[in-house]
Amino acid sequence: MPVRRATTWRELAAIQCGLIARRQLVQLGYHDHYTDSRVSAEQWQLVSDVVVCTTTGVLTREQLMWAGVLHAGPGSAIGGLTALERRGLRHWGRDEITVLLPKSHNLQPLEGVRFVETRRPIGLFATGRLPTWRAEPAALLYAGYAAGTSTALGLLAAVVQQRMTTPARLLEDLRRLHPLRRSRLFRASLQDVAAGSHSLAELGVARMCREQGLPLPDRQVRRADASGRLRYLDCVWHLADGTIVILEVDGGFHMEVAQWERDIRRERDLVTTGAVVLRCTTREVRDVPEEVAASLRAIGVGRSSA
């Protein structure tokens, strides 16, 4: 059933979290003198030269999103990490609101809002009354122009880990967004995620293996330690001679004393089962992958893997 269109400013304000564009008021029959009188009486407040708020006080975050889209005008939409925030992404929040708009707009700035011009078909990827990009194109476009590769790959892994989407859906929208910076890297990384990589560290190892000519490991393998406890292992290679090689990739939290002691016990329990355990940091995988690969080759990975 089609949504009934607002016929009064109150109905429209209820839909748009209290924010209305001047052009919308004119379309409803409220001309500038009506708007100006409300603002002069301090019943409404000016948010920008083209947007008013029908409430007073500091704007809420949702109101600022509406203000950004209305300020940018028709054809704009919430994008980037803000779109992902609205879709439910956790731990990637930014204070600044991101609004996508078509290229060649001459737009006045709006405090708290970052306007991003794009030639992409904005409306094709937007849904909802407050136009918001779907998770897949929002993540891919942000990742394409993120400052660092690790940030880009971490975001794509996060949207899959948090069950917002799947690698297959991301790959489909990657095709729709062509051409996109880093698309070849994204395609390979998403295939790794689909194959079982669950973290940025595992994605880094998969990338290292491809670049250094090593076989891909099994990932998130369950293995019983010497005490019979099941462990989830980051990366495992089964060599032809029966040797099991385990690579544990440590992030910054592994430097905490309690975690460090748990890691030592974990490694000791694994080694007593006959496995060869190597450890490295996420920084090494990212910055000096050839050194990690050399250590793996030294114990037979790549020459005698089953």
Q: If you average pLDDT over residues 32-42, what whole number do you get?
A: 96
Task: Quick: pLDDT tens for 157-169.
Answer: 899 989 999 999 9
Delimit the CATH 3.40.960 region(s) of the chain.
215-298
Classified by CATH at the fold level, domain 215-298 comes out as Endonuclease; Chain A (3.40.960)
Task: Quick: pLDDT tens for 196-216.
Answer: 666 667 778 888 998 999 998
Tell me the average pLDDT of the chain: 86
> In the 3-class helix/strand/coil scheme, how is the chain assigned residue by residue?
CCCCCCCCHHHHHHHCCCEEEHHHHHHCCCCHHHHHHHHHCCCCEECCCCEEECCCCCCCHHHHHHHHHHHHCCCCEECHHHHHHHHCCCCCCCCCEEEEEECCCCCCCCCCEEEEEECCCHHHHEECCCCEECHHHHHHHHHHHCCCHHHHHHHHHHHHHCCCCCHHHHHHHHHHCCCCCCHHHHHHHHHHHHHCCCCHHHHHHHHHHHHHCCCCCEEEEEEECCCCCEEEEEEEEEECCCCEEEEEEECHHHHCHHHHHHHHHHHHHHHCCCCEEEEEEHHHHHHCHHHHHHHHHHCCCCCCEC
- At residue 156, the pLDDT reads 92
- At residue 63, the pLDDT reads 98
- At residue 29, the pLDDT reads 95
Higher pLDDT, 44 or 303: 44
Q: If you average pLDDT over residues 181-187, what whole number do you get?
A: 93
Q: If you average pLDDT over residues 145-151, what whole number do you get?
A: 88
- At residue 304, the pLDDT reads 46
- At residue 248, the pLDDT reads 85
Task: Quick: pLDDT tens for 244-285.
Answer: 898 988 764 334 444 445 655 656 666 666 788 888 887 788
Higher pLDDT, 232 or 306: 232
- At residue 188, the pLDDT reads 84
Task: Quick: pLDDT tens for 74-101.
Answer: 999 999 999 999 999 999 989 999 999 9
